[in-house]
Structure 1
Amino acid sequence: MTGPMPLTLASIRQAPKAVLHDHLDGGLRPATVLELAAQCGYDGLPAHDEQALAHWFRDAADSGSLELYLQTFDHTVAVMQTPEGLRRVAREAALDLAADGVVYAEVRFAPEQHLEQGLTLDEVVEHTLQGFREGEALAAAAGHPILVTCLLTAMRHAARSREIAELAIRFRERGVGGFDIAGAEAGFPPSRHLDAFEYMRAKCGYFTIHAGEAFGLPSIHEAVAFCGCDRLGHGVRITDDITDGEGFAPVLGTVAAYVRDKRIPLELCPSSNVQTGAVPSMDKHPFDLLARLRFRVTVNTDNRLMSDTDMSREMLKLVETFGYGWTDLERFTINAMKSAFIPFPDRLRLIDEVIKPGYAVLIG
């Protein structure tokens, strides 16, 4: 082949990809939700055939409100309360991501939400990690190798963040790469969980913080200045600190400049950001502005079920909206890989041996 391969959904699926922000309980297969609900006796599903259930999740998530968006997780979490359910969901997540061309994935979930049938926090993590390892092995056998790292999330409205941070460190050598807080932002600032973040720093642990999605610049400021996060989950509201200067040239405020200059990665999730009302539409998404200003932007799925998406479709939307080419997609992928919560040699190996060669073929 001479010259670049045309950018289509099929060709983008061939590109090696890295995702940093993917929720385990937001990526179930609709058929799996139905089968697990039947097995565990959960009768609260809003639809009872695969297609109707898939449509319900997508439509319910299109609320324009983060709080309403989060309510869709009641159903997925309900069927992830058993060892078998956790292993299956984790195994299928690894397989589905690998089939989409993802070579590195960080998949997060909140162990505290999976205790309703008597599992301990440690057991929840053990079964989930087992599922990821099973999925990795099956994906490799199918010719789609993937490395999955797990992030443990604490719910910001609850009071277990220090406990979950300790859990993340306890499993650090067994497949858990870091810690996160998630949930409704308004009224639950990151500094409320300062003890957990101080613990992670004391243990030299990685952590990201959901900030600047539904709430504005104060959330981001706290996350970076007081909590010391390694990455920002979403962070789209960083644009609140970017104004038009003379000749409409963008001027960065103190927080925005700090985030850019410190190379704090932004885990941007285009489809989800529109669904939750963080941005009004795809063409108004600040992804391109932030990319042009040289922030470390990354492309992510957030919740594949709720957004009816995957990494290839997220990238295609950016291509169609902003006119990106293969070199742009490669840069965003390398941004993500540079920002991964794994040792530097492993990051470098994937960049040099998998990502760059994979894009070289597509670029031609």
Structure 2
Amino acid sequence: MKIAVIAGEKSGDNYGAALIDSIRRIKPDVSVIGTGGEGIRKRADLFIDCPYGKMGFSGVLSRLHLFYRAFKEVKETIERENPSFVVFIDNPGLNLKLADALGKKHTCFYYIPPKVWAHNYKRIRIIKSSIRAVITIFPFERTLYQKEGIPAFWFGHPVTDLIKSGEVPEGGDIPVIGLLPGSREEEVRYLLPVFIRILRYASEKRKIAALLSASDKEIRRIEEDILKKEGEEITLFEGSPEKVIKGSSLLLAASGTVNLEVALYGKPLLVFYKTTYLNYILARLVVKLDMISPVNLIIGKKVVPEYIQQFPYRKIVKEIDDILDKGLLYQREMEAFAHLKEVMGSGSVSEKVAGFLIKEGWRLQEC
């Protein structure tokens, strides 16, 4: 059996790599065509380089020619290799165009489909005409797609597979603030200086330590340059954010899937988002949500404070103090995170998705 796994963001690469591993545990001889980051690259028999991890409208526009080249190469490769099925993972900017071009002749599934409930609902037309089934990560999405006549399945959120069992340490006498400024260059360049400024304000009232996460070697290099420019020394961990999350009393995090990891480890957090003014204005025009963190979206209310574009440092430090002193904000977050664990699924999500895809792939081949 030959399959294609098409991703284009850090989280999509993580989930794609986990999915390939799970598929190979079921069918060890499967051949994989892949796009994404290092996780999928290491596992693919045939890997196609694509623009990876760009942020916002301007980030995409600046590399539009590379997206077009990637679209052409992926399309031609899938047409030539004719895999049993194609799995698109998130990254709707490229993946929806590929689905539209390939879906009529190839069996296509969409794992982590576009958030049409947040903006641009019209995209559901392409999904309906080109995708055999969607595998959602939020339970409410399944109902939305099913109402549109699109086969939809939910096995839980794959982030639960990243959470390792065992005790999470409480920390020592000195509180530790963990910094998760994102996995994309633009996020890190905008947010890490903000996080450093917050640390300086917070350290005026109490002694604190800090840990910093870097998703890969390139992000580590950028973070080290920023630390040098700011005249700061912070212990830095490259790779999975697990060590930073577990070793922290509180996390300052870029908006994204990592918010769920923090919450599932039972650690309090504040969420941040910053981009160019142009990207922000354009996003405000198309996005219909008043919350951005997936933690708040799943819970259905703004429990975790979110700071978008503007950062009132004194207010942020008050919330840090509340959390470190286990005040009302801390208590609200802990109650919400306990509920979150109940609705996120029971784990082994990648294995369940892999089993579903293999079963459906064989069934469709026999039809």
Under a length normalisation based on structure 2, what TM-score does the superposition of the two structures give?
0.32
Structure having the higher Rg: 2
TM-score of the two chains, using structure 1 as the length reference: 0.32
Q: Which has the higher contact order (CA 8 A, sep 6+)?
A: 1
